[in-house]
Structure 1
Amino acid sequence: MSESPRPHPTGQLLKLGVAQAVLFVLGALLGRWVGLLLGLDAFGAGGYGNKEIFGILLIGLGGGGGVQIARAWYVRKYGNPRS
């Protein structure tokens, strides 16, 4: 019978949470800036047309990408917290 893996220490999990939060915000800001450069203003005054929807999509992709980068960093450094 195999031994169950030990949970990660709280300090390491805190690093994961902070890294995910910071990179989520930075990624969302990057997505916003890219959208503005492409003329896709997520907060445009004209309602929700295609340009606004694609601007929102870029913000979401940037934020989600930031979270995934933080998680990949954590897994590479400390191992998978779920295993």
Structure 2
Amino acid sequence: MNKLLVEGLTDAVGFVGGALLGFWIGRLLGFDIFAAGYGNSSIGGIVLAGLGGGAGLQLARYLRRKARKEA
């Protein structure tokens, strides 16, 4: 499989998975990313989804580097 395709797919899966995890953690904490306006609840949800997406992306890249070293 093409190296760039694998890199793009793993980055996308990591980002989306992390963003969803951040979204659900925010929901559990009472933040609502879809609340009307830009109140504290909405901003908190957006921040958690963004942090989750970034963390998921970094985790995907870490795991890809680790798998490359072991191969």
Fold shared by both chains (TM-score > 0.5): yes
Question: In 2, are the aligned partners of 1:40 and 1:51 still within 8 Å (CA)?
Answer: yes
> Could you state the TM-score of these two structures normalised by the residue count of structure 1?
0.74
Take 1:55 and 1:35, find their aligned partners in 2: how far apart are those partners? 5
Matched residues, number: 69
Question: In 2, are the aligned partners of 1:19 and 1:70 still within 8 Å (CA)?
Answer: yes
Runs of 4+ with >6 A deviation: none
1:78 maps to 68
The residue type equivalent to 1:76 in the other structure is K
Gapped regions of structure 1 (runs ≥ 5): 1-9
Q: Residue 51 of structure 1: CA displacement?
A: 1.5
1:62 maps to 52
The residue type equivalent to 2:42 in the other structure is E
Percentage of pairs with the same residue: 54
The residue type equivalent to 1:11 in the other structure is N
**RMSD over aligned Cα atoms:** 1.5
The residue type equivalent to 2:64 in the other structure is Y
| Structure number having the greater helix percentage | 2
Larger Rg: 1
The correspondence for 1:26, drawn from 8, 17, 30, is: 17
Query: What SS class does the counterpart of residue 32 from structure 2 fall into?
Result: coil
Gapped regions of structure 2 (runs ≥ 5): none
Once the two structures are superposed, what CA deviation does each residue of 1:26-66 show, in whole Å capped at 9, x if it has no partner?
11111111111111101112x11112111100000111111
